[in-house]
A and B are shown apart, each in its own frame.
Chain A
């Protein structure tokens, strides 16, 4: 038997029909995640053609993108941005009811950002194929599942047939060696890798993250990394399941329980790259050299270490400098901050909130800074409140909000003002992503919190040392 990669094993295990001369493969989808923004047109197609959802049990829906992050009023009404947003949410509620799909809506204690909620429930499992009409579906690759984003037409395909037509991508290994230094987070590593691979470096490939630095990451940290593999252009990101994965999943609602779990765990652990398997491409990253890292430009590949200076201006980055209004060759630290956002499917999990709270405990954010902390799910919100993190945020002067995508893409109206600089723990710093003319600096939760306190982009290690002393 030839040695194969993790990707190859996942692909083979889901082939309903192999690709043939000029024809794509038919791939079976184990889990289809649905949210309000990219699904309405797909349900319309089902209605037009008189089709039903083939596997409602393999379909799981939530409300996250356009939901307000302020609480409902006493009469149950909510602060929707506009009527269209509310209509979109109501359309998903109706579609799920009509087609027999489980929806974690406002009344569910499990509602959350789609890529936060599904792993929490144990719906995301190793060895699966997982799709969603959302590019950050790559997040679920952290569990050794082949997970990728699809468009609305394909959402319709999966609803109706539980399958997708696919052309086989290439494979790329990103080998990360050594240990991350103290005070350096998974987000810093992720941004560092995005800087090395570039925003289109992974195009056409599925990336597998490997090496001792990856094995040392917690599941939450692995999700942060795989989440942003799409920012490297990759079709998907993968990390092979191991003991960390198994222990994280044990006892969660959708996984098998008792002896059946042990049997499942054995099956899951077989999803790994064989010793001598060959990747189409591979690159090596030295984890020991990673520092707290932020973006300075208008794509996630334009990164800089927090204590370093920006690059010189050249033909390729003039537009980014113009938009960001930052000085070439000046340090990024010290740039004035208007808004800080801790949230998104990249960094809204309990560990992220703890990282931010550790810095804010006993401190106040700068007078001119507005800070939003938005937990990724109802469960995280409850856990954080049980630990008292919400009180730390409020005491520091930050706003503690209801779960949702919020300022990650601003669809619900959580945006900044033109020209403002936002230090954000989300995944995209595209022009206008957080509001027209808004400048986004992507960062870790610790860097975001330290910047809120300083009122300027700041190195979190200074705060962390103070805490340790």
Chain B
């Protein structure tokens, strides 16, 4: 039985979808100011842009044109290399084709619902719909220890009420040089670190999304990496996003930040120990440690710690008026904080596995900040009731919802998961609990795995008391059904 690997990739490739509780991708964050001109400004203030794309939007255009020029050139060169060498070298090819249907039920509570009530259609959440993908993987082994690795996702989706669009991307395209115990690689690749399942503080390069409904390969990061391996140790030195070293801070938030990262690994019998260090161009230093220990035949324990000098995050502009003319929630660089996780996984002979994880994420908004956020929601609705114009109030409520687009809503979290496997069937039930406001996200899933075909169905409910953040997300329920065939 495979351990409960919590799906680690977007359910449909969207990075700007609050309620999925996934990592933020600054380049894909949706901005009110990018949308429609207002129909009128009855507050007497400056014209206020209304949202065309508040949540769940993405950059338009063919995938190749959305990458930086330097990355694009490098990827094209690697692609050419793949083509040239494939005729002469040994290689491995595999592929997966997936048909996926997402269904989402819009929440009637929360700031986005309130915005829609005041100004219908101002910021519709991303609807569901079908999505077809083909993930193509190819490895070419060339002479002299050189290998070329490619992983391309071709994707097309047609969301309800919208025209179909391409969502293809290159997940990986990198060259590797095998020098025995030394390994060198360069290009775009997935590089996941840390030992947790639902939260990984030390995933300092990939920063991949966790707890998604349907797992797919995440999109890798451009990097240059030098590694050394012995029997029981491993060292990695990475320069992630090297092409962004001189870019402005506002375009290099989160995983887009250019950073140097290092990882040391030691194995001592049943114990895996990791140490991590990272120096981000504008977030500075962070250090971390992680361990995984198989305590008994059935029980595995793991834990992670990370201390950050600075981090990127959302902050409310305290000088902003109640009904602001521009987004008062801004991405900025914030001060030092810490993250920690402990977890345990038990697997029984009857093909049942249980996972429990508790974590603290100091990069999430503090309780006090959420109280102010809540108070502002109430004040905005009250202002509307007292005659404030609907459109700007609705726009501000929609802006409020952007604060929900974060990897962890609350700082303290509990994750519980049980799974049972019988032959080709696997059933799972998990719950993300937020003790601060009793919010919860409950997911149930079933998978059938055949020789080539895999079927997945999952359903997620966001809930809790009326004031809970999870109960104010744009959706109340989400569901996904997928059929995958592998070659």
Query: Is this pair of chains taken from one and the same complex?
Result: no
| Chain A contact residues, CB within 8 Å of chain B | none
| Chain B contact residues, CB within 8 Å of chain A | none
